[in-house]
Amino acid sequence: MLLEVKNLKTEFKLKKGVVNAVDDISFSVDKGEILAIVGESGSGKSVTSLSIMGLIAEPGKVAGGEILFKGTDLTKLPVSELQKIRGDQISMIFQEPMTSLNPVYRVKDQIMESIMTHMKLSKEEALKRTVEMLDLVGIPSPEKRAGDYPHQMSGGMRQRVMIAMALACHPELLIADEPTTALDVTIQAQILELLYSLREKLGMAVLLITHDLGVVAEAADRVIVMYCGKIVEEADVKTLFTDPKHPYTVGLLESIPKMDDERERLYMIKGMVPNPLKMPKGCSFSDRCEKCMEKCKEHIPALIEVNGAKVRCFLYSDAEEGKV
């Protein structure tokens, strides 16, 4: 197992109270696997990825659990050790390609910085590798474009540069936090295609964070659905799309427009994500769920295995969180 997250808890201590952005989640990523984490804004998917990188900023912090990367617990490593892993064995690309590159440095300098931080290469070798990486991610005339500043590139180009930077040291795990959200659909498809082919070529695992189920269907092997900091369903991609179990997952899938759709209006999950400071006492989805029962409002269901998938819902089992 490449990455094992066990009972991870990340909380933000605010003046008004403590927000459990990630609330006791466990999952694992195998070598070469693409695991998608889906959920709407505020479900804790980005916080999960930043927790793995050790990049949670104040006032947030990892409050419990383990993040085992090849057996080493990242939460217990000192920052200096973590820095050796970041960008080298685990690297990350972000949602915002327009702002994720430093505007005052040339693209090649930013990629070379990553290479020279982790590999003992001369400047010439690092530059050669940089150009190779830019070529790999499909930037035309990479020698020339390497000297560009970020503002001279389009959003799609910049995201390619980010990917080149993330892949420069051949990481074993790539965390892609909404890599295509800020891009238009054609570029989106190209970037996904690129990630997919690079996975094949380099054999790295990808943790794909997204709210876009279309992206999930296209790229992922396995899917985790998060809601309010908790995993509500986990399944392989085929099972999830053909046999969704949790009412939230069902709702998400229902709300995707389809080609042969004859509905006048798209399906919508009613209500809104609850205020993280005022969570429902029972299941966090209970106030929006169409199949909500009395029990759901009082007790939190446990994540249990049902037909090869995992789901957190009283419709499938009476098991309660903490009482299994």
Partner 1 sequence: MLKYIIKRLLMLIPVLIGVSIIVFVIMRVFSPDPAPIVLGQHATQDKIDAWRVANGLNDPLYIQYLNFIKGIFTGDLGTSYYTKTPVLKEILSRFPATIELAIAAIILASVFGIIIGTISAVKKNTIFDSAGMVTALIGVSMPIFWLGIILIIIFSGTLHILPSGSRGDPLMQPMKVTGFFLLDGILTGNIQSIGDTLAHLILPASALGMYSMAIIARMTRSSMLETLGQDYIRTARAKGVSEGKVIRKHALRNGLIPIVTVIGLQLGSLLGGAVLTETVFSWPGIGSYTVDCILKSDFPVVQGVVMLVAITFVLINLVVDIIYAMVDPRIKYSKKEA
Where does this chain bind partner 1 (CB under 8 A)?
Answer: 53, 55, 79-80, 83-88, 91-92, 94, 96, 99-106, 113-114, 117-118, 149, 151, 162, 165-166
Residue 52 or 192 with smaller CB distance to partner 1? 52
Q: Which of 118, 116, 165 is nearest to 139 (CA)?
A: 165
Residue 85 or 231 with smaller CB distance to partner 1? 85
In single-letter form, the type of residue at position 213 comes to L
Minimal distance, residue 68 CB to partner 1, in Å: 19
Minimal distance, residue 250 CB to partner 1, in Å: 35
Q: Which two tokens stand for residue 258?
A: 């389809």
Minimal distance, residue 179 CB to partner 1, in Å: 13
First to last CA, the chain: 25
- Tally the residues of the chain: 324
* Phi, then psi, of 160 in degrees rounded to 5: -65, -40
Residue 104 or 268 with smaller CB distance to partner 1? 104
Residue 55 or 272 with smaller CB distance to partner 1? 55
Minimal distance, residue 323 CB to partner 1, in Å: 39
Residue 114 or 286 with smaller CB distance to partner 1? 114
Question: How crowded is the C-beta side of 138, counted as CA atoms within 13 Å?
Answer: 14
- The CA-based angle 245-7-209, given to 5 degrees, is 60
**Residues 6 or more apart whose Cβ sits within 8 Å of residue 224:** 27, 35, 36, 37, 38, 231, 233, 234
Minimal distance, residue 83 CB to partner 1, in Å: 5
- How far apart are the C-alpha atoms of 24 and 28, rounded to whole Å? 14
SS3 19: strand
Residue 58 or 262 with smaller CB distance to partner 1? 58
Minimal distance, residue 166 CB to partner 1, in Å: 8
